[in-house]
Structure 1
């Protein structure tokens, strides 16, 4: 395991600590004094990490330091942004890139995931949380909309009616409700959160990487593309040596159990 990236200069801590392993990367949002508010430096670091994971696909685990996932976008920076900045999609494009990584993205959420922090969590394929996890999009109270993915990702996750209520009121969702509406798939004690994220990554790593990448890609395809996209992806996998190897091992194990 490689050591995390720890700094961008001797005096300025990196906003994103990155721990690299052969089959996964753990990225920790690291602005604890700002409750991990997502600023331009964080966005730049996410783009750099995405470029790495596009070139060398691995599962990504995203979490936050200091008992907070991310309290939102950095309001001091957001206040100064103008129309051209909105059209540039500063946060939105970074979160699209995270969402479209070839391998799965797991968000491990403790504490607040608000505004842009919630939208980063929504960009993950799998979300798990702690009992202290809280989600919300209070943007309309600040005179803006949640434009970095919540207006379309949240309804895909929890349904249009529920998403409408949450986005239009800005109401905070606690961990129990997040679990009940499918916003997270599991709730674990804070001390176990990263271990549970690694357990998910372990399960993913046991599967064939090409099949995992294909499954994620096909899951994202529009309904009109099915079943064509499924069959085309399956055709490629049917020709792979790994498919033959794994199925041969399965049949050999079954034959051995039958003979015992």
Structure 2
């Protein structure tokens, strides 16, 4: 199968950001990509609480989501929208991924499980829990190419989630993100390679990149990583898209050579004190 990852520098205007994403999706589909993925917060990068609440829609009313469903059906591609900011209450949002089939229907939804509440020590402070409602469910979705595990950005730092996806038989695992530059430089490639090695699955990680209108800067480097942990496509720091050809037989081959998913054993934790 052929996949494409769209790398964006999403702005504050949802309508304009959706138009940019649609243009890249069309270009990617023209290469023959059957599955196209976009980054976290595909249609809006907004840091102001009041503004993001005023711009967000409930899922059933979101014009961006409707546009993505229409283009998936028009181009007859599967579309993984890394996430949209969806209003779930008057003062709460969900950071929600959508898997859209080539008929335009929504095949799966996933709300980000782990919220990014950190002080990076460089003046960058994030409190996602103040505005977002955490998800409750890990999601494995059926696709024409096998099972797909869904995750978003900060989830990457919780390997138990990916272990469960590997044990559930996922051949593709999605990690759309908007990683900061400091954490991206330090950890992005390493963590994604580790998740591929641990699960024996393909990792598809579409990313935000560059300097956004809010002043936030994201790391880019959308990656496709094979089940052995080898990077087979890296988008670098520029907006655009990358493609990669995947051999799904490699998942089974890798898991046969390195059957660690079959070797998990229960254990008791003992902490010794002197």
Same fold (TM over 0.5): no
TM-score by length of 1: 0.34
Q: Which has the higher contact order (CA 8 A, sep 6+)?
A: 2
Structure 1 or 2: larger strand share? Answer: 2
Larger % of helix: which?
Answer: 1
Please identify the structure whose Cα radius of gyration is greater: 1
